[in-house]
Amino acid sequence: MGKKEILVLEDLLGSNNKIAADIRNQLTQKGILTINLLSSPGAGKTTLLEQLFTFLHPHYKMAVIEGDIETERDADRIRAQGIPAWQIMTGGACHLEAKMIGRLFPEIPPDLDFLFIENVGNLVCPASFDLGEHLRFVLLSTPEGDDKPKKYPKAFLTADSLVISKADLVPILPFDIDRAVREAEGMNPHLRTFITSSTTGMGLKELAEFLISRLKELRKNHA
Amino acid sequence: MGKKEILVLEDLLGSNNKIAADIRNQLTQKGILTINLLSSPGAGKTTLLEQLFTFLHPHYKMAVIEGDIETERDADRIRAQGIPAWQIMTGGACHLEAKMIGRLFPEIPPDLDFLFIENVGNLVCPASFDLGEHLRFVLLSTPEGDDKPKKYPKAFLTADSLVISKADLVPILPFDIDRAVREAEGMNPHLRTFITSSTTGMGLKELAEFLISRLKELRKNHA
Residues B209, A85: Cα–Cα separation, whole Å: 47
Q: Tens digits of per-residue pLDDT, A105-157? A: 999 999 999 999 999 999 999 999 999 999 999 999 999 999 999 999 999 99
3-state secondary structure of A112: coil
3-state secondary structure of A75: helix
Interface test with A, best of B151, B170, B197, B200 (most A CBs within 10 A): B151
Residues B86, B95: Cα–Cα separation, whole Å: 16
Q: Is A1 on the interface with B (CB under 8 A)?
A: yes
Q: Give the model's pLDDT for residue A9.
A: 73
Is the pLDDT at B179 greater than 80, yes or no? Answer: yes
Domain A3-221 adopts which CATH fold? Rossmann fold (3.40.50)
Nearest residue in chain A measured CA to CA from B68: A151
Nearest residue in chain A measured CA to CA from B124: A94
- A58 upstream amide cis, omega within 30 of 0: yes
Q: Give, for A137, the enclosing helix (H) or strand (E).
A: strand A135-141
Q: Give the model's pLDDT for residue A13.
A: 83
Asked whether B160 and B136 are in contact (CB, 8 A), the reply is: yes
Minimal C-alpha gap between B69 and chain A (Å): 6
The CA-based dihedral angle spanning residues B138, B65, B202, A174, taken in that order and rounded to the nearest 10 degrees = -100
> Quick one: pLDDT band at residue B66, thresholds 50, 70, 90?
very high
Question: What is the pairing mode between strands B135-141 and B62-68?
Answer: unpaired
Chain B residues near residue A100 by CB distance under 8 angstroms: none
CB within 8 Å of B45: residues ≥ 6 apart = B37, B39, B118, B119, B121, B139
Q: Give the model's pLDDT for residue B1.
A: 57
| Helix, strand, coil percent values for chain B (each to nearest 5) | 50, 15, 35
Q: Give, for A181, the enclosing helix (H) or strand (E).
A: helix A177-187
Going through chain B in order, the beta strands assigned E by DSSP cover: 33-38, 62-68, 85-89, 114-118, 135-141, 161-165, 192-195
User: Which of A10-14, B2-6, B7-11, B125-129 shows the highest mean pLDDT?
Assistant: B125-129
3-state secondary structure of B96: coil
Cβ separation A93–B1 shorter than 8 A: yes
Cβ separation A166–B150 shorter than 8 A: no
Taking each continuous run of H as one helix and of E as one strand, the counts in chain B are: 8, 7
| Helix, strand, coil percent values for chain A (each to nearest 5) | 50, 15, 35
Q: Which of residues 69-108 of A touch B (CB under 8 A)?
A: 69-71, 73, 92-94
Is the pLDDT at B14 greater than 90, yes or no? Answer: no
Cβ separation B150–A71 shorter than 8 A: yes
Residues B67, B128: Cα–Cα separation, whole Å: 15
3-state secondary structure of A91: coil
User: DSSP state, B174?
Assistant: S
Q: Give, for A114, the enclosing helix (H) or strand (E).
A: strand A114-118
Minimal C-alpha gap between B62 and chain A (Å): 24
> Quick one: pLDDT band at residue B13, thresholds 50, 70, 90?
confident
Asked whether A67 and A39 are in contact (CB, 8 A), the reply is: no
Range of lowest pLDDT (A172-176, B6-10, B67-71, B87-91): B6-10
Q: Tens digits of per-residue pLDDT, A97-113? A: 999 999 999 999 999 99
Asked whether A74 and A150 are in contact (CB, 8 A), the reply is: no
Going through B41-160 in order, the beta strands assigned E by DSSP cover: 62-68, 85-89, 114-118, 135-141
Task: Report, as ranges of residue numbers, the positions in chain A whose pLDDT lies below 70.
Answer: 1-4
- Closest by CA to B66, choosing from A151, A40, A143, is A151
Q: Give, for A135, the enclosing helix (H) or strand (E).
A: strand A135-141
Cβ separation B153–A40 shorter than 8 A: no
Task: Spell out the domain ranges in chain B.
Answer: 3-221
Complex ipTM, two decimals? 0.93
